[in-house]
Chain A
Amino acid sequence: MRGTKIFAGSSHPELAQAIVDKLGMTLAPVHVKTHANHEKTIELGVSVRNQDVFIIQSGSDNINDDLMELLILVNSARSSSARRITAVIPFLPYSKQSKKKKSRGAITAKLIANMLTVAGVDHIITMDLHSDQMQGFFSKPVDNLLSEPLLCKYIREHVRDFRDAVVVSKNAGGVSRVTSLSDRLKLDFALIHQDNTNAVPPPVAATNGFVKPCTATRLPPTDSLAEIEVIAPEWHEDGLQLVGDVQGRPCFVVDDVLDKPATFIAVAQLLLRRGATRVMVLATHGILSSDALAQMEKCDAIHDVIVTNTYPIAPEKRQMSSKLRIMDASAVFAEAIRRTHNGESISYLFHTSL
């Protein structure tokens, strides 16, 4: 692509390399120096005057350092007279903090949006934002790419009995994501609700940390047995409630971010108890911090863990896990970059897998 420079931050060099390989380009040189006090100095190794600049930086375990690096990269391109600066952020950091949690919360995602704009970015390309409304936080155009076509393709090619499967949301907030996927694959869906007030107190053995204590368990009325059944139906277990039917079918548990595995494990165990044949966990961003992967490896209820490569996963983690499958999203980003540069529509990418 003529008049284009693509730079990569240090968060996810592997993905950046895969993207430029697909575009038949090389990464433009950039020198990042970290001072003793952890400040960063950045020097672009090539002129960007009047160029179309793309900067690829995802989140990573050093999330604040990488964010700062991205902001400095954007700003140095801006002060070096780049014509247009597009930040390619496969996993946008802080995107889960997109609303006030009841009282006195900060909307940190909005702060990040403001910071990027102030640094001088003209356009943002990202994937599967935690909420679609976040595009409105930016005063610059945001292209929110979808991993859904990729997920569908993977499921169609790798899961033989997917037509019998049920797509499961592990909480009420993720239902729209799940119904969208189930519509596309023409499958049934179910959802799981963490119900803390209606639950039967879990037996002590089943309490493994994540179950919040029941604060307001109502006493069963004494007049009739039938009423007791209404209050505590059999599918209230461990404070989890399954709405929908999974008997004898494989399940896909789908979410946008896969970080702490506790709920995924609890959900998978519940699904197996309710008669599911197999549980596959699918997520766009596999953050898998600390020993998340090891815990899922140990859990017999989860059979596969499928994520994309938007977030860097350390090679030793990847080797250790027999359940982890990584889908390559680099082609989607490469095509989005190419289309953005050429001024072509990118809506094709919302429904077609590359």
Chain B
Amino acid sequence: MTELWIDALRILDGSLRLATPLILCAMAGLVSERAGVIDIGLEGKMLAAAFAAAAVASLTGSPWAGMAAALGVAVALALLHGFACITHRGEQIISGVAINILASGGTVVAGIALFRQGGQTPPLMAGERFRPIRLPGAEALADIPVLGPLYAELVSGHTLPVYLAVLSVPLIAWLLGRTTFGLRLRATGEMPLAVDSAGLSVAVIRYRAVVIAGLLCGLAGVFLSTAHGAGFVREMSAGKGFIALAAMIFGKWRPWPVFGACLLFGFLETAAARLQGVTLPLIGPAPVELILLLPYIATVVLLAGFFGRAVPPRALGVPYRKER
């Protein structure tokens, strides 16, 4: 019984870890899109940030310097997206795709130029990374039945970005739902004309949203290369930014359901990894590919409107043009 419980906790623990970049990117996308700016470039911002974090951590020996660089790079890309889409009313999807391509190529070029290791950064030493944080009392409480292992295995022992990712959910929910900034941001995504006629600047609100998205994507990058991994590997984001987009839509652009979707996607990934090569009764070898496919099938089914409709913000993707 205890064995099974600990096994279950380990799966959940792995789910949370795999869900972390999804949560951060999905929250980033959510903030941006609730303000009306499509963000296809989550992937690119995360990848560029992952590179910046590992490169600077490797050069300076400090993960904190790496984190600062990652946030800076991701915000810079976010501002570029804003400049194209908000200031110049460009096509938002194209701008996002451009950022993805830029990050994909740019990280490898910069990596070769700096480190000459085929686009990778050198492996990071323990002091150059974010280490798991043992929460106080994890050892002491571990023996308490049921709750002890829960605390020790699942709650304690994660790296800083994981905690920040989990914290970002109530924070974003509070920001959108309870603050004036959130009300204005949501109004901007639904009906920018109403915001303008209330004497507020649509552009300023959208820029703020885009910068918040940049910060969150930056954290996701930090997680990939200096917390979960130990160094940057080319294309290490591996499509997680797009999976996060799917989770965002699956969660209907609302923080808690999006969080749930991210955990579900993380869980399915963990389960698939665990079931690799396992033979199940009746079914035979575990259909790992099928399990990995489930989130995407679910997203497509949702988008097709079979169960509950995912209604995007009304002004999503529509540049705001103010006559002068």
Q: Do A and B bind each other?
A: no
